[in-house]
Structure 1
C-alpha cells in the first residue's frame, strides 16, 4: 500500500495592530546594511509596506498566548513603522499585515530570522538599471527616480548610462562574462559598433582592465585638456555639432572631443580671426601657428616699446587691490596656512595685479611697418602674441656717411625692394613637425639616435643655463676657467662655454622645449634685465659701473649662462666643420661637472618622460628598461604585452611621478661615476640613489601591486 507524504500547511496571515507587536531579541541582523531606517520609513510612507512581517505569538511561563506578537523576521521594517508612529504619521493601532507562525512549532525562532535574511536573492544590477530606464521612459525624471530610491541624481545618471551600452555587451554582463567595471568603461562611447569591436579585440587576451578599454575607445579623440580644446572651448565645439565622450564613473578631465577634424577647423578659424586683429595693428607680417619651436625668434631684432600708461581708473583699482591684500595678510601672519577662502581671495588679488603688470606696448609706427608678430597658443590654450620682431631683410638701409635711413623707393638702384613696407601679410602655419618614429628593435638595447640625444641634451642645456644664472659664484668660476684655459694652454679643447659670450641655438628640438620651466625662466630673466639696460654704449658703461656688487654678479651669471653648451652633436671623424670626438667628450664632461656644481636635477627642472620627448621615440626594449628602472619589474609586467604606441602611453603614466630620467640627463655623483641605471628599486637604500631615482617613500620600499595597477589606469 503506497504511503502519501503529508501536505505542507503554510502559516496564516492576518492584520495585527502595531501596538501588539514587539521586536524579537532573536533577530540575527545586528550590523547595519542597506537603506537606513529613515530611508525605509520614507519608502513605506510612499509605497506602503511591500513585504509582510513574520511574527510569532508571545507566550507566558505556562505556555499561554499573551496577546502580543514578537517579530523575528522583519526587524528593520518594524523599526521603520515605529519611526512613523513616533512622528505621528502612522496610528499606533494601525493594522500591519503579518505572517503568523505557530508559537509551539519545531522551528527555532532564530532559524526563521536567519532564513529570511540569507534566502533573499539580491536583484541583478542590470535589472535595476533597466528598471530605472523603464521608469524614465514612463515619464519619471532622473531627479524623481533619485528621490524615490534615496540616491543621488549622479548615481541615477550613471546607472542609466550603463543601459546605453551595446545590447550584446549587456547580455555578456548578464551572463557574468564581463565585470561591472568593464561595462562601466564602455560607457565613454555611445557607438555600439565601436564598443563591440573593442571588446572583440580585448576579450581573448588577459589585458581586459577597464583603463585599457577606455584607452581603446578614446585613442582617436582629443582630450578636453588639450590646448586646442581649451582654446576653442568645449561649449563652442559642441555648438558646432561636435560630440564629447564622457566618463560618468571616473574623473575624465572634461571628456574627449571625438570629431578631431572639426576641432582643428575651429582652432584654425579662431586663431586666424585673432591673427587678423593683430594684422590690423599695422604689422608688416603676422605669423600664426598652434605652437612655435624654441628659438623661433633667432636672428630677429626685437623692437623696444614703451608700456601704455595706466588710466586713473586702473590706478585706483590697483591701489584698492593692494590695500585689500595688505589688510588681509597681517591678520593671518602667524597661521601655518591661510584658510581656504582667504587663500582663494589672495590668489585672485595676485592674478589681477599681475594682469596690470602685463601692459600693452606702444611702438614707433615707422618700426611697426617693417616688423611683425607671432600669434600662437600656450600649453593652457591661451592666445599668446609676440609683437615687434624685425627680419634681417626688413632692416632699414643706413647711409654710411650721413647715418640717415635711405628711402628705397627713391633709390631703386639699391635693389632692396624687400624692405619696402607692404600691406600686412598673415602667414598661417600648421602644427610643428611631429616627433620622428623609430623603427622597432626588440633584439636588445641599441644606442639612442643622435637626434634624440640632441633633443634631450637641449633640455639639459636650458636647465643648466637657468641654474648657472642662479649661481653667480659658479658662473664666475666657469668664466675664469675658460679664460685661463684659453690664455695658458695652446691646445685647450672646446669646452661647455662659448666665452664670446654667444648664445647657442638648438638645431634639434621638440615643441615641449619652448614651454618648459627652464625656457620660461631664462626668457623672463632676459626680459627683466633688458627692460633696464640703456641702449647707448656710453650710458651702458656708466650704468654697469654704478651697479652694486650683487647685481653685477647676477647680471654676469645671466650673460655667462647664455654661453653654456651641453648639447650632444654627432662628431665628425674627419675634422672639418663638425665637432671632434675629443671636443664632444670634453664638452659633456665639463657640462656634467657644471651640473654637479649648481646641483642640477632635471626632475626638479621640470623634465618628465613623455611619448613625445622620449618614450615614443625609442624601441620597446628601451621603454621596458625605463619602466623597470623607474617603477620596478611588476610595472613592466603590466605593459610588456602591449603594442609600441600603447606601451609608450602607459609607460608615460607609470613613470610620471617616479623621477626617472634617461641616461643623457642624469648627473654623475661626486666621484664622477654615473649611478647604475640597472639597479632594481626594491631594497635599495634611499641615501645611495641620486634624487631622480629616489622612490619617494621613507623606507625605500617598492610601490605595492595595487598602487601600480591604479597608476596604469
Structure 2
C-alpha cells in the first residue's frame, strides 16, 4: 500500500523587534525600481504594514542562533520601516510580523527572494480602474485618491472614466479582444447602448482604430472648436440649457463636443440678428447675415467708396495701453513652454483690438450709404466678417432722361450660341437638370449599376476646379496673355467664342453651384490676397489708372494682366435644359470644359497639387455605393474595395475617405483630359515675313517656354 504524500507545514509567524532584524545579503533586489522607499514609508505610515517580512535566523560559525534575523525577502518594506524609525514615527523595538523559516531550510534564501519578486502579478488595468471607482463611490475624492496612490488627479479622472464604460465592453477588454486604446476611445460617450452597438458594428468593419471609434461616437455632435460655438461662446450655450461638453480625456479634443446642435443654431441666429441690427443702425439700407458666406457673394453688387479717418486721440491712447499690456505679457511669459490658455486668449484679444483701432474709421457718403448694405459672415475663429458698402442692382439710382431727346439708349446685343442642333443637344451622360440651391442627395442604392454623377455634384466639383485653375492661371503670365490673345482672335476673325473657356469682357466668373467652404479654400485665399495687394497699389480713381499702369515695369504689367484675366476663366460644367432655351447650350458647355483642359495643361495644373482630397462632404457622401467602391478600387486596390462592400453607405463613405487619403485619386470631372499636341505657333508660316515680336513685358522669359505656352493655349 503506497504511503500518502505528507501535508505541507507552513512556517510560523512571529513578531520580532525591529532592532533584531537586518537586510540579508541573500536579497536579490539590487536595482531601485517602481515606488521609492520614501513613498513606501509614507504609505506604511498611513495604512500600516500590509505584508509581513520573510526572515531567517542568523547563526554563528558553530551553527548557533545569534538572536538576530536576516531579511532575504521584503527588503524594501524593511528599508521603509527603517525610515520610519529614523523619523521617530516608530520605535526601534516595535514588533514586526515576520514569516520565519529555519536556518537549515532546504530552499535557499536567494530562491525565496527571487520567487517573491518574480511570481507576483500586478493588477490587471481593469481591476485598477474598478478599484478606484469603488473608492470614489464610497466617498473618496479624486484628489485624495491621487494622493494615496502617488498619481495626479487627472490620472484618477481617466481611470474613473474608463471604469464607467459599458460592463459588456469591460468583459471584451478583460478577454483580450479589445485594446486599451480602443477602450479609451469609447469613453467619449456615456451611452452604454451606443457603445455596445458600435462595438458590434465594428465586427463588420475593416477599420477598428480608436480614431474611427471616436469619430462614430461624436458624429452627431458639434466640436467646441466650431465657428458657431466660438461665436456664441460656451458660457452662453450652457446658460441656455446646453449640457457640459463631452470631453476626450486621452486625446486633444479642442474642448470637446456639444450634444445639442439645434440649441446652438438658435443661439447663433439670435446673436447674428442682434449684430445685424446694430450694424444696420449705422445707416445702411440692408444687412445680409449668414453663418457661411459663399465665394462670390458680392456678384453684381457695386462697392461704394469709403473715406478713411485716422485714429482719434482716444484711439491712440488706447493703442498705447494695449501695446504696453502686450509687452508686459510677452516679458512675463517669455521662454515659458506652458502659457495658460487665458493668457493666450488675452494676447489674441489685444491683437484683434489693436488691428481694429490701427485701421482707423471709415465714413461713407450719406446718400450712397442709404442705398447700400452690408454682408456679415463668421470667420473660422468665430469672429465676425463684416463687408460694408455694397449696392444691389435694383437699388441703383435711376438715370436722368436725355432732355434733348436726341439720345436714345442703344440696345445691347449678346453673342448667343448659334441656333441649330447643337443648341438643343444634350450629352449622352446628362441627367435631369437640378434646381439651383437645392442639394442633390444620392440614395443608398445597393444595385451594382454605376449611374452618372448628379448634375449638381459635377457642377460643384468643377466650381472647385475653376477656382484652383484661376489661381494657377494667374501665376503664369505668358499663358494668360496667350489665352486672352487666342480668345480675341476667335471673336475678331472667326466670329465665334465657344472654342475658349475665357469669358472675356473681362467678366468675373461666379458659381451658382459650390460646395460649402469654397470661400475659405487655399485657392480663393491666394486669389483674394493677390487682389488686395494690387488694389493697394493702384490709384483710387479709374481716371488715374492708365498712367499708373504705364509706370509699372514689364513683369508687374504681366502679373497684373494675368491676375485680371484669371477672373474670366470658367471651367465649371453646368446642367442645361434638355430642350434648349437656356443661356448656354450643352455644346457650349462641353467646348468650354474642353478648352479649360487645354488651359490647365498649359499651366501644369493638377487638382491634387491644389489640395483637393475626396471626403464624405465633397464627394463620397454624395454618390451611390457603386461609385464609392469604384473610387476605392481605382485609388487603391480592388481588394480594398471588397473589404468595405458590406458596409452601410455612411460607414462605407467614411471608410473610403480614410482609404483614399493621399492616394491622389480624383473623380472624373476633376481629372486632366488628354490633349492632342498641336503645331507650335513658331513653326507656322506667317504672311508678310517674320512674326511680330512678343510684347515687351513678356520678353524676359525663355524662347522655348514662350513658344510652348503659345502653342498649347492657341489650340
For residues 671 and 154 of structure 1, the distance between their equivalents in structure 2, rounded to whole angstroms, comes to 65
For residues 259 and 134 of structure 2, the distance between their equivalents in structure 1, rounded to whole angstroms, comes to 29
- 2:689 alignment partner in structure 1: none
Q: Which deviates more from structure 2 when the two are superposed, residues 646-655 or residues 460-469?
A: 646-655
Report the alpha carbon displacement of residue 56 of structure 1 after superposing the two structures with TM. Answer: 2.1
Q: 1:113 to 1:356 in 2, by over 3 A?
A: same
- 1:617 corresponds, among 616, 622, 638, to 622
- 1:233 alignment partner in structure 2: 233
Q: 1:385 to 1:435 in 2, by over 3 A?
A: farther
Q: Does residue 502 of the first structure (1) align with residue 507 of the second (2)?
A: yes
- 2:285 alignment partner in structure 1: 284
Contact 2:444 2:649 in 1 (8 A): no
- 1:461 alignment partner in structure 2: 466
Q: 1:202 to 1:481 in 2, by over 3 A?
A: closer
Report the alpha carbon displacement of residue 149 of structure 1 after superposing the two structures with TM. Answer: 0.3
Q: Which deviates more from structure 2 when the two are superposed, residues 434-443 or residues 290-299?
A: 434-443
SS in 2 for 1:542: helix
1:11-55 deviation digits (Å, cap 9, x = unpaired): 122334545544445545577654344432332232222111112
Q: Which deviates more from structure 2 when the two are superposed, residues 67-76 or residues 609-618?
A: 67-76
For residues 341 and 318 of structure 1, the distance between their equivalents in structure 2, rounded to whole angstroms, comes to 27
Counterparts of 1:278-357 in structure 2, within 5 Å, are 278-312=279-313, 314-315=315-316, 354-356=355-357
- 1:116 alignment partner in structure 2: 116
SS in 2 for 1:245: coil
SS in 1 for 2:388: strand
Contact 1:570 1:579 in 2 (8 A): no
Contact 2:206 2:643 in 1 (8 A): no
Q: Which deviates more from structure 2 when the two are superposed, residues 374-383 or residues 26-35?
A: 26-35
Contact 1:222 1:256 in 2 (8 A): yes
Report the alpha carbon displacement of residue 151 of structure 1 after superposing the two structures with TM. Answer: 1.0
Q: Point out where structure 1 has 5 or more consecutive residues left out of the alignment.
A: 330-337, 404-431, 673-713
Q: Which deviates more from structure 2 when the two are superposed, residues 58-67 or residues 8-17?
A: 58-67
Report the alpha carbon displacement of residue 582 of structure 1 after superposing the two structures with TM. Answer: 6.6
- 2:261 alignment partner in structure 1: 260
Aligned length: 635
Contact 2:204 2:647 in 1 (8 A): no
Report the alpha carbon displacement of residue 123 of structure 1 after superposing the two structures with TM. Answer: 3.4
SS in 2 for 1:369: helix
Q: Does residue 595 of the first structure (1) align with residue 603 of the second (2)?
A: no
For residues 596 and 325 of structure 1, the distance between their equivalents in structure 2, rounded to whole angstroms, comes to 50
SS in 2 for 1:506: coil
Report the alpha carbon displacement of residue 92 of structure 1 after superposing the two structures with TM. Answer: 5.9
Q: Does residue 136 of the first structure (1) align with residue 98 of the second (2)?
A: no
Q: Which deviates more from structure 2 when the two are superposed, residues 382-391 or residues 436-445?
A: 436-445
- 1:188 alignment partner in structure 2: 188
For residues 634 and 647 of structure 2, the distance between their equivalents in structure 1, rounded to whole angstroms, comes to 18
- 2:387 alignment partner in structure 1: 386
Report the alpha carbon displacement of residue 263 of structure 1 after superposing the two structures with TM. Answer: 1.4
Q: 1:84 to 1:557 in 2, by over 3 A?
A: farther
Contact 1:58 1:70 in 2 (8 A): yes
- 2:456 corresponds, among 426, 437, 451, to 451
For residues 591 and 190 of structure 2, the distance between their equivalents in structure 1, rounded to whole angstroms, comes to 59
Report the alpha carbon displacement of residue 559 of structure 1 after superposing the two structures with TM. Answer: 0.9
For residues 631 and 58 of structure 1, the distance between their equivalents in structure 2, rounded to whole angstroms, comes to 74
Report the alpha carbon displacement of residue 560 of structure 1 after superposing the two structures with TM. Answer: 0.8
SS in 2 for 1:15: strand
- 1:151 alignment partner in structure 2: 151
Q: 1:393 to 1:311 in 2, by over 3 A?
A: same
Report the alpha carbon displacement of residue 588 of structure 1 after superposing the two structures with TM. Answer: 3.8
Q: Which deviates more from structure 2 when the two are superposed, residues 620-629 or residues 93-102?
A: 620-629
Contact 1:20 1:69 in 2 (8 A): yes
Report the alpha carbon displacement of residue 461 of structure 1 after superposing the two structures with TM. Answer: 1.2
Q: 1:31 to 1:435 in 2, by over 3 A?
A: farther
SS in 1 for 2:652: helix
Q: Does residue 647 of the first structure (1) align with residue 652 of the second (2)?
A: yes
- 1:558 corresponds, among 560, 563, 579, to 563
Contact 2:439 2:456 in 1 (8 A): no
TM-score by length of 2: 0.76
1:324-356 deviation digits (Å, cap 9, x = unpaired): 999xx9xxxxxxxx99799x9999997676445
Contact 2:22 2:69 in 1 (8 A): yes
Q: Point out where structure 2 has 5 or more consecutive residues left out of the alignment.
A: 405-436, 678-715
For residues 666 and 570 of structure 2, the distance between their equivalents in structure 1, rounded to whole angstroms, comes to 20
For residues 99 and 245 of structure 1, the distance between their equivalents in structure 2, rounded to whole angstroms, comes to 52
For residues 465 and 216 of structure 1, the distance between their equivalents in structure 2, rounded to whole angstroms, comes to 37
- 2:552 corresponds, among 539, 547, 556, to 547
Report the alpha carbon displacement of residue 620 of structure 1 after superposing the two structures with TM. Answer: 2.9
1:269-300 deviation digits (Å, cap 9, x = unpaired): 11212122122222222222222322222111
Q: 1:569 to 1:269 in 2, by over 3 A?
A: closer
Counterparts of 1:4-153 in structure 2, within 5 Å, are 6-18=6-18, 20-24=20-24, 26-27=26-27, 34-59=34-59, 63-82=63-82, 95-153=95-153
For residues 562 and 502 of structure 2, the distance between their equivalents in structure 1, rounded to whole angstroms, comes to 12
Q: Does residue 222 of the first structure (1) align with residue 222 of the second (2)?
A: yes
Q: 1:491 to 1:499 in 2, by over 3 A?
A: closer
For residues 317 and 633 of structure 1, the distance between their equivalents in structure 2, rounded to whole angstroms, comes to 64
Q: 1:33 to 1:234 in 2, by over 3 A?
A: farther
SS in 2 for 1:54: strand
Q: 1:229 to 1:489 in 2, by over 3 A?
A: same
Contact 2:576 2:586 in 1 (8 A): yes
Report the alpha carbon displacement of residue 520 of structure 1 after superposing the two structures with TM. Answer: 2.6
Report the alpha carbon displacement of residue 476 of structure 1 after superposing the two structures with TM. Answer: 2.2
Q: Over the residues paired in the alignment, what is the CA RMSD in angstroms?
A: 4.2
SS in 2 for 1:155: helix
SS in 2 for 1:136: helix
Contact 2:632 2:656 in 1 (8 A): yes
Q: 1:537 to 1:136 in 2, by over 3 A?
A: closer
Report the alpha carbon displacement of residue 654 of structure 1 after superposing the two structures with TM. Answer: 4.8
Q: 1:62 to 1:641 in 2, by over 3 A?
A: farther
For residues 282 and 642 of structure 1, the distance between their equivalents in structure 2, rounded to whole angstroms, comes to 56
Higher relative contact order (CA 8 A, sep 6+): 2
Report the alpha carbon displacement of residue 257 of structure 1 after superposing the two structures with TM. Answer: 1.0
Q: 1:340 to 1:33 in 2, by over 3 A?
A: closer
Report the alpha carbon displacement of residue 69 of structure 1 after superposing the two structures with TM. Answer: 3.4
Q: Which deviates more from structure 2 when the two are superposed, residues 219-228 or residues 573-582?
A: 573-582
- 2:709 alignment partner in structure 1: none
For residues 552 and 323 of structure 2, the distance between their equivalents in structure 1, rounded to whole angstroms, comes to 30
Counterparts of 1:356-435 in structure 2, within 5 Å, are 356=357, 360-401=361-402, 434=439
Report the alpha carbon displacement of residue 543 of structure 1 after superposing the two structures with TM. Answer: 3.0
SS in 1 for 2:371: coil
Contact 2:227 2:379 in 1 (8 A): yes
